[in-house]
Structure 1
Amino acid sequence: MPDPAANLASAMAGAYNAGDMERVILLAAQAGDEADEGILALRGLAEQATGRYDHAVETFRQLAHQQPEVSAYWNNLGVACRLRGDADAAEQALSTARSVAPHDAEVLYNLGLVYIQQRRWPLAREILLDAVDCSPGFVEARLQAAYACYVCADNIGQEAMLAGAVNWPAQPAEQALILAAMLSTQGDLDAALHTLARARLPATPEDERLRLRIAAQRAVLYERSNHLDLARQELKLLPLAALDALPDDASQARAEGWRAHAALAMRAGTWADAAALYRRVLALRVDAEARASAAFGLAASCDRLGRHGDAWQALDAAHAAQLEIAREVVPELLAPDSQPLQVAEVDRAAHARWRPLVAPSSRQSPVFVVGFPRSGTTLLEQMLDAHPEFRSMDERAFIHELTERMEQVGQRYPDELANLGGTEVEQLRATYYRMVGRVLPDLGQHRLVDKNPLNMLCLPMIMRLFPQARIVLCLRHPCDVLLSCSMQSFRSPAFMVLCSSLQRLARGYVTAFEQWFRQVEVFAPRVLEWRYESVVEDLDRHLTELAAFLEVADASPMARFADHARTKRFISTPSYAQVTQGIHPGAVNRWHGYREQFEPVLPLLQPMIDRLGYSR
């Protein structure tokens, strides 16, 4: 005799597989209160698929309580709660699912999405990386894990998650925009553009605003890589009239479009137009990242117009927005006495315990370009990269990554550098060059240029691995450095906190250089000081001195750095536009226009100003 329940379940399964969710729900109603587990599960999935989230929550809650040992029901309950907007209930359900099935990648992924929704970025990063560990081919988990790493400024984790992303299936437009942004920060412009070209657009009213957002991002990518003609072509697909015509709830598309137009206006020197566009963005209800970006843009345009008071007011708004972002990632650094810069030192007694080891010669070692950010390190890097003997790899934190890897295996940095034997140091060098190889697979016999300003804080690691390395310390008037840092939108949450006030930034600057000078006394490295203001006055003489320091016979290719920079696919630092235009005398003593703001920190800076050879 036919089993009515079995027939009903079979009919529901057929409707579900055919995508007819309304029929699934209609059939489920026939079971009434006698619905069995299979019927309830299909009904819940159909309710969720049709946006009946309240009903889906009740259905999956009933199943989870009937079968608490089945992780899938807790997982489905968590997803339904998240879609309904109840993140707390979603977290509770998914945490229960995780306790039942701790290695289920889908459960971990869904819990990670809840943490993203709650903007608990460190937790999201941790749980999503676990999901990828459980299922390395889980593309959606890799993308969201990369995004959490991106927000947390974990560049190494982000790159690992995005390995092979160019071969991923085409992504929905929202995810494609995120993925393209991350790929661009890694310098992979082609992959970013490829991702946008394949973005899957929905057949809904969202289609048009997503098309505009994609055009805006393409314009920004081209501007960011100094392809200005291509950027202007993209703007033709993004007319201001179309942005104005968007509905009131399209703030994100409108903001991204206005920012793209403003970026090109800045490059064209029409700073008043740029300022007006940035002000329009700031009048919208947008997230902290968009507000910070627009406020930094407004500050730059006002600075170019000589409106220093307006520029500083815009900077206050920018840093307030960035503190909102940092609070979600590094809340511990918001304490007034926190130290955003990681400072670790080796004293003379500890250095005396270092056992002598065989080390590469100076020509076999990287050339390290260091200095506080915004001191001219990118300019020098492009000069060196223009020489056929050298290859730079943009700005990478590989030396810092080695210090973290020591800590992860229980070796305290820098204390246990003294205990490392030759084999262990060789392993660290090999790890370093593996990371380099992912960026410069064709390094070959070229000499590597490792430009990372804050490697100045990692001198112990540099001296343990490459004690014969040549190091170039970039210097610039401290006040010009701090002004430039204040006007830049840094991605690192720690640097967002450091730059949040001029007082805090000045303390960080002094701390960094005090540590540098103490470590130079301990290690006596081979260092050349490269002073920005002197280079501006006499480039040829300083290039000759640099060539001699680096044992290079011909300095002339370095003088053609601006032409070389224009051929680069991507320059990650905020100087990406300036280095294509040659030496900038106008960057000297910019801080004089902001003397009123600097007066309170000059007493703190003055000893270092004097020590570095600058006067007020």
Structure 2
Amino acid sequence: MTKNSPPKGPGTPGFRPSAAFKPTVGLPASASAARPTVGLPGSAGGGFRPGSAPVQPRVTQEDILRALQLGGSHLAAGRVEHAGAAAVAILKAEPKNPDALHLLGLVALAKGDAENAEKLIASAAALMPRHVNVWVNLGNAQRDQGKVEEALISYRRAEALNPAYADIFLNRGQLYQETSQYAEAIADFERLMEVSPDEPGPYMRAASAATDAGRFRDVLTYCQRALDKLDEVPAQLKAIIATTHERIGELDKAVEWSELALTDNPKNGAALRTWSKARRRQRKNDAELLTELRRRLEEIDFSNASASEARLIYSELAQLCDEQSDVESAFGYFTKMNSRTKELPELKRVDQRKFIDEVNLLNDLFSGQFVESWTALPEIGLEPGHAAVPVFLVGFPRSGTTLLDQILDAHPAVQVFEELPFLGKVKKSIAGYPHSLAGMSETERANARKVYWDALRKEGADLEGKMIVDKMPLDLVHSGLIARVFPEAKIIFALRHPADCVLSCFMQDFVPNASMLNFLTLDGSAALYDSVMNLWETYRKTLSLNVHEVRYENLVADLRGEVEPALNFLDLPWDSAVNDPAAHALARGTIRTPSYSQVTQPIYSSSTERWRRYEAQMRPVLPVLQPHVERFGYSL
């Protein structure tokens, strides 16, 4: 890669896919020119006051146009209340003015009221159905409510009107990325590159989606395209390049590119973290280097930094302190990291209780007579044309699933897929889930299985040639779905000391979603562990699951002793390729999980019983974990 130029243009420091380059698609061009002193007759000082009565009896179209111009100006400047007042004033004079309805819908969307925004913008779309930006904004309002299919229909309406309208591909690509449809997201962002080739945003968007898909070499390709095309390269693009090199173990290049980014912007959080992380990976356990890195990061004033910037630095400082055995400081920085994570604007739409409520619902349902009410379905053996029965690798996060995934994927007869929502697609395809599992027919089961196989094939699964292992740790909670739709499946359950799991989840800088948000506090982490493992115990009591347990502590102490029985369970022979998961991880280069830096180094046992170093901090949540500790045969 070449080119080192100062950054230009807008950007969000520490580029995150769900926050950066999310536009507010504006009003039609007729309303784009701002005249801030113009208002409807009777509006004092050119402003608008909802409820004020016009002094003059007749409002002309020129008055309305000027009012729209002012409202559009207020909206673009973030003066949401003023924009809303302008729209209200117009609607008093002309109740069905489509541009004013559209503007008021955008105001509602900016305030987080996506439901009302959808109603208002839909009314505008009905009145002016050939305005492309109205359909894009309608899609945005639907997207913000989780109405994925409705949003896609709106975006397609917009595309039919103007196939070169950039905001279609930006917003639809974001929707695809948020719903883990990475191939579709990348396709939209590639189209965005064609439409806006001289802007950095499309390249960074494509790189972000490719990162989420684990396609790290493609990330570098998109960045190179940006370097070749742009006259000036933003610091955040250089930070993406640095971070990608660090992810795939090219540490010298990671340091080089992070330093280029820091030359442009010394406070770029992503570049700073990558620079520090790559250097400490280069020189493991170098006490002098750890002190140097910590001093550099602690000298930076992040009191006015964005949440996305600050959380990255706090994350790295916490890791530095942990490696220095400064437990109190490390825990403080982990706490600050999670506190700033809560402030991320993209999390405003995420319901932290959604996942845990689903877990509790499933536990209540399966604890009763639910399974006994299931209609009988024929037994299923090996799917015709498939090499093996499906295998699900599950467990609580941070229980060694990524290490085990690398070990299994190294076996020549196995293909592992990392944390893609295959079962989520199956779940969505079953109307009335989970209650409808009871009355599921043979045809409905066959349809659900087809959804799963089709999703796997779309991601490149060699169903006919290899055993497919679906690694999604928290699919543990959908073991009831597995039992009903895939009764022939084998489940590998990864287990680790509950206290180590909970502490590690609290310390991990996860990409936030409805389940991961529970890890932002130790209390939340312990509560989620309790709920998930209670559900797992319920499943083991009520379902006939074919399960093999792999313990993390045994795995790091004696790889063959723990893995060979797992291979026997899968009817696979021992193969020496599984002996070196670090080498396989580096060669694979597609580790999507936060554990990538751990599994690309030789197996170590220092994470075993790690929680005891933090026992003082863990003490409040240990009573919640104690029943699980005892049931799994551990000790406190």
Unaligned runs of 5+ in 2: 1-31, 36-58
Report the alpha carbon displacement of residue 570 of structure 1 after superposing the two structures with TM.
1.6
> In the alignment, which residue of structure 2 is the partner of 1:188?
215
Counterpart Cα distance in 2 of 1:453 and 1:105: 41
Report the alpha carbon displacement of residue 534 of structure 1 after superposing the two structures with TM.
1.2
Structure 2 residue identity aligned to 1:544 = E
Question: Which residue of the other structure, out of 508, 513, 530, is the alignment partner of 2:550?
Answer: 530
> In the alignment, which residue of structure 2 is the partner of 1:384?
408
Report the alpha carbon displacement of residue 356 of structure 1 after superposing the two structures with TM.
2.5
Question: Which residue of the other structure, out of 135, 139, 155, is the alignment partner of 2:180?
Answer: 155
Query: In 2, are the aligned partners of 1:263 and 1:274 still within 8 Å (CA)?
Result: no
Q: Would you say 1:230 and 2:249 are equivalent positions?
A: no
**Structure 2 matches for 1:314-325, cutoff 5 A?**
314-325=333-344
Report the alpha carbon displacement of residue 561 of structure 1 after superposing the two structures with TM.
2.2
Q: Would you say 1:173 and 2:200 are equivalent positions?
A: yes
Structure 1 residue identity aligned to 2:180 = N
> In the alignment, which residue of structure 2 is the partner of 1:503?
523
Relative to structure 1, is the Cα distance of residues 341 and 218 closer, same or farther in structure 2, using a 3 angstrom cutoff? farther
SS in 1 for 2:271: helix
> In the alignment, which residue of structure 1 is the partner of 2:25?
none
Counterpart Cα distance in 1 of 2:333 and 2:629: 27
Question: Which residue of the other structure, out of 192, 204, 214, is the alignment partner of 2:237?
Answer: 214
> 1:29-70 CA distances to partner (integer Å, 9 max, x unpaired)?
xxxxxx996999799889989x9989x989999998887656
Query: In 1, are the aligned partners of 2:242 and 2:255 still within 8 Å (CA)?
Result: yes
Question: Which residue of the other structure, out of 372, 375, 380, is the alignment partner of 1:354?
Answer: 375
State how many pairs are aligned. 560
**Structure 2 matches for 1:568-587, cutoff 5 A?**
568-587=588-607
> 1:274-310 CA distances to partner (integer Å, 9 max, x unpaired)?
4345445662523223322222222112111111101
Relative to structure 1, is the Cα distance of residues 67 and 243 closer, same or farther in structure 2, using a 3 angstrom cutoff? same
Counterpart Cα distance in 2 of 1:277 and 1:364: 52
Report the alpha carbon displacement of residue 456 of structure 1 after superposing the two structures with TM.
1.2
SS in 2 for 1:586: coil
Query: In 1, are the aligned partners of 2:366 and 2:538 still within 8 Å (CA)?
Result: no
> In the alignment, which residue of structure 2 is the partner of 1:603?
623
Q: Would you say 1:397 and 2:421 are equivalent positions?
A: yes
SS in 1 for 2:366: coil
Structure 1 residue identity aligned to 2:474 = L
Normalized per residue, which structure has more helix?
1
Report the alpha carbon displacement of residue 615 of structure 1 after superposing the two structures with TM.
1.5
**How much identity, in percent, do the aligned residues show?**
26
| Between 589-598 and 465-474, the greater mean CA deviation after superposition | 465-474
Structure 2 residue identity aligned to 1:293 = L
**Structure 2 matches for 1:197-596, cutoff 5 A?**
197-199=224-226, 211-238=234-261, 240-244=262-266, 254-268=268-282, 269=284, 270-279=289-298, 283-325=302-344, 328-331=348-351, 333=353, 339=357, 341=359, 344=362, 345-347=365-367, 349-352=369-372, 353-361=374-382, 364-406=388-430, 411-596=431-616
Q: Would you say 1:144 and 2:171 are equivalent positions?
A: yes
> 1:290-345 CA distances to partner (integer Å, 9 max, x unpaired)?
322222222112111111101111111122122234861235639xx974756514
> In the alignment, which residue of structure 1 is the partner of 2:20?
none
Relative to structure 1, is the Cα distance of residues 603 and 122 closer, same or farther in structure 2, using a 3 angstrom cutoff? same
Relative to structure 1, is the Cα distance of residues 200 and 553 closer, same or farther in structure 2, using a 3 angstrom cutoff? closer
> In the alignment, which residue of structure 1 is the partner of 2:56?
none
Query: In 2, are the aligned partners of 1:128 and 1:142 still within 8 Å (CA)?
Result: no
Structure 2 residue identity aligned to 1:601 = V
Report the alpha carbon displacement of residue 148 of structure 1 after superposing the two structures with TM.
5.3
Query: In 2, are the aligned partners of 1:341 and 1:494 still within 8 Å (CA)?
Result: no
TM-score (norm 2): 0.76
Query: In 1, are the aligned partners of 2:198 and 2:229 still within 8 Å (CA)?
Result: no
Report the alpha carbon displacement of residue 91 of structure 1 after superposing the two structures with TM.
11
Relative to structure 1, is the Cα distance of residues 76 and 418 closer, same or farther in structure 2, using a 3 angstrom cutoff? closer
Relative to structure 1, is the Cα distance of residues 332 and 302 closer, same or farther in structure 2, using a 3 angstrom cutoff? closer
Query: In 1, are the aligned partners of 2:135 and 2:154 still within 8 Å (CA)?
Result: yes
Counterpart Cα distance in 1 of 2:395 and 2:325: 28
TM-score (norm 1): 0.78
Query: In 2, are the aligned partners of 1:348 and 1:522 still within 8 Å (CA)?
Result: no
Report the alpha carbon displacement of residue 358 of structure 1 after superposing the two structures with TM.
3.8
Report the alpha carbon displacement of residue 418 of structure 1 after superposing the two structures with TM.
2.4
> 1:453-496 CA distances to partner (integer Å, 9 max, x unpaired)?
11111111111222122211111111111111111122243234
Counterpart Cα distance in 2 of 1:88 and 1:302: 38
Report the alpha carbon displacement of residue 554 of structure 1 after superposing the two structures with TM.
2.8
Relative to structure 1, is the Cα distance of residues 415 and 179 closer, same or farther in structure 2, using a 3 angstrom cutoff? same
| Between 499-508 and 372-381, the greater mean CA deviation after superposition | 499-508
Counterpart Cα distance in 2 of 1:403 and 1:356: 18
Relative to structure 1, is the Cα distance of residues 277 and 403 closer, same or farther in structure 2, using a 3 angstrom cutoff? farther
> In the alignment, which residue of structure 2 is the partner of 1:247?
none
Counterpart Cα distance in 1 of 2:114 and 2:500: 49
Q: Would you say 1:615 and 2:635 are equivalent positions?
A: yes
Report the alpha carbon displacement of residue 504 of structure 1 after superposing the two structures with TM.
2.4
Relative to structure 1, is the Cα distance of residues 172 and 273 closer, same or farther in structure 2, using a 3 angstrom cutoff? farther
Counterpart Cα distance in 2 of 1:226 and 1:134: 44
Relative to structure 1, is the Cα distance of residues 163 and 432 closer, same or farther in structure 2, using a 3 angstrom cutoff? farther
> In the alignment, which residue of structure 1 is the partner of 2:27?
none
Counterpart Cα distance in 2 of 1:236 and 1:450: 38
Query: In 2, are the aligned partners of 1:366 and 1:449 still within 8 Å (CA)?
Result: yes
Query: In 2, are the aligned partners of 1:72 and 1:97 still within 8 Å (CA)?
Result: no
Counterpart Cα distance in 2 of 1:76 and 1:508: 42
